[in-house]
Chains A and B, each alone.
Chain A
């Protein structure tokens, strides 16, 4: 569990990136921080591995204040995946994946063997192991980035717009893969994006920011869609239009779901499978958090 307690970040030039932010990020769930640029979401992510230190307030990981943890060591224990993968262009794929284990003192040979296993995990062909990153496609590079983030088997995985720079088809594939990996590996994922569709797809918990790290609303996708906290959230999630504003129309006696343009989106079926709104929610990996759903943010900070 990661807990932010009234965290504020003021940069030397006077900009307040984050103002009095409090949030509980539950373990073994995907928490998505979503907002437009300048909303402070990336700053918040970077405070978790001390790339950025807060001006005031505290951040705890499993009850330990991270201000007391040496940053380099802390970072080696937390997976990090960023846009454009952030790979080392002068290292081969397997060496890129093995980077952090080698930094932690694992023998190069053992780290490489583990890197090959991780390539299987993220769906990369082992024949790519000796390529340089520039010889891979954007989607493949991103998979290498994810493999590198998983290399030390961290409990926490930070993802900073990891799929922002790949084309929509590949992005959809990577998103599905991430959900699969999360089901198998059970990490605490903190995911930053500006894409609300991505947030609704991936998030167990979603935090929507306005600007300056001010939370507009935090909750499950269902909660946010069912009851947007204000006009801003409603507009941001597009609850009032397009493919999210669905309503039911009778067609030959059967209920058909159509969007705001009147285009058919699907049909209504009985909820007999007991599934939540998100596929995969009913997986047995759920046992860890009380109630099955992540607890919503304690204090939205929206004031």
Chain B
């Protein structure tokens, strides 16, 4: 307990850094994956190739990638940019397929009618396709969020600040409490990010949280009648 109090500053500090280093790849990966996913969906011929290549990125083991990136990027070995770039690559690997599925989930009739009433391709993308792909994109970014937050811990092995430091340090010192702090911290960040994402989804896509369908209402009414009888 005294360890917790004595290191509270450091715990909070590292948790915030962990949150920040996770947020960057989540957001950057999302932004990059959307145009790639859109292209993969639009040009059916290239779809298989794009998805296969991007999917393979996820097969690259994280530790070698962290170590290899400095020579590829010209960064210093301890630069957090290495880990952020690596996690962005993983985020893209997950997100491109989801983005492609998200755009495929938009009803073709809606797109057709948008074109028919005079949306240009550009305008149709921003005001019809992107918002309607939103629910599936949201579910994708929630997966990316959790995965990125947990993967970042591995960065501690090459000396980049993250909650992984507490696992490593606790493990070496055989000090369970420190390991638990690392785990709980990671979970807390993941839960908070997830809540923020679903809140953003609800604010940005109010049509998606529709009130119960008429059938559901009727079923509920029927149940009340049955119970009353």
Name A residues whose Cβ lies closer than 8 Å to a Cβ of B: 46, 49, 51, 72-73, 75-76, 80, 82-91, 99-100, 103-104, 132, 134-135, 148, 158
- B96-137 CB mask vs A (1 if < 8 Å, else 0) is 000000000001011011111111100100001001100000
Q: Does B211 contact A (CB under 8 A)?
A: yes
| Residues of chain B with a CB closer than 8 A to A72's CB | 118-120
- A-B contacts, 29 of them at CB < 8 A, read A46-B116, A49-B116, A51-B116, A73-B118, A75-B116, A75-B118, A80-B113, A80-B117, A82-B112, A82-B116, A83-B109, A84-B109, A85-B113, A86-B116, A88-B110, A88-B114, A89-B132, A90-B131, A90-B208, A91-B207, A99-B117, A100-B117, A100-B118, A103-B117, A103-B119, A104-B118, A132-B207, A135-B210, A148-B117
Asked whether, in the complex, the Cβ of A103 is within 8 Å of the Cβ of B123, the reply is yes
- With both beta carbons as reference points, the residue of chain B lying nearest to A80 in the complex is identified as B116
Per the 8 Å Cβ criterion, residues 126-155 of B in contact with A are 128, 131-132
- Give the size of the chain B interface in residues (CB under 8 angstroms): 21
| Residues of chain B with a CB closer than 8 A to A100's CB | 117-118
User: How would you classify the secondary structure of chain B's contact residues: helix, strand, loop or mixed?
Assistant: helix
Chain B CB count within 10 A is highest, among A86, A99, A103, for: A86
Asked whether, in the complex, the Cβ of A75 is within 8 Å of the Cβ of B210, the reply is no
Query: Do A76 and B116 form a contact, CB below 8 Å, given A89-B110, A103-B123, A135-B211?
Result: no
| Residues of chain B with a CB closer than 8 A to A73's CB | 118
Q: Does B8 contact A (CB under 8 A)?
A: no
| Residues of chain B with a CB closer than 8 A to A87's CB | 110, 113
Query: Do A76 and B210 form a contact, CB below 8 Å, given A82-B112, A86-B109, A89-B110?
Result: no
| Residues of chain A with a CB closer than 8 A to B208's CB | 90
Chain B CB count within 10 A is highest, among A46, A80, A85, for: A80
How far, in Å, is B78 (CB) from chain A's closest CB? 46
- B194-229 CB mask vs A (1 if < 8 Å, else 0) is 000000000001011011000000000000000000
Asked whether, in the complex, the Cβ of A82 is within 8 Å of the Cβ of B207, the reply is no
How far, in Å, is B108 (CB) from chain A's closest CB? 10
| Residues of chain A with a CB closer than 8 A to B119's CB | 72, 103
A100 to B127, CA, bound (A): 13
How far, in Å, is B119 (CB) from chain A's closest CB? 7
How far, in Å, is A140 (CB) from chain B's closest CB? 13
